[in-house]
Amino acid sequence: MAVEPFITFHPDRVSLKTNLTFMPKVVSSVALNQTIHLPTFYPNPQNKGEKILHSLDMHRQLCFYLDRTKTFRKTEQLLVSYAAGSQGKAITKHTISKWIGHCIHFCYFQHGKSSA
């Protein structure tokens, strides 16, 4: 979810909690009640290396993403579609799977390797 208490921004991290309707493959209290804490990467970068790492900062990226999607967002789910016809609606598990697969393929391509 893109609202409290499912996403909480702190000065040094962002905390994510699972959606109460989420059903993991292995049902356990850990999987259902887990909070994920993503630390801030170099909030005040001092050199080129820190600036590169700062670009990976999930706190910064999530703030940017939520700001960019707020004008067309039609759900409180964190990830929303940008495709015509379904723009702003919650994306499916299948779409998330495809996005991850595309990212993995792109990483292999960037390194001149063939993806499996």
Query: Higher model confidence: residue 49 or residue 32?
Result: 49
Prior bond of 5 cis (ω within 30°): yes
pLDDT of residue 102: 95
Residue 46's pLDDT band, with cuts at 50, 70 and 90, is very high
pLDDT of residue 50: 93
pLDDT in tens, 57-77: 999 999 999 999 999 999 988
35's tokens: 């909070």
Of 30, 33, 42, the closest CA to residue 5 belongs to 33
pLDDT in tens, 30-44: 777 788 999 999 989
Query: Looking at the predicted structure, is the pLDDT value of residue 3 above 90?
Result: no
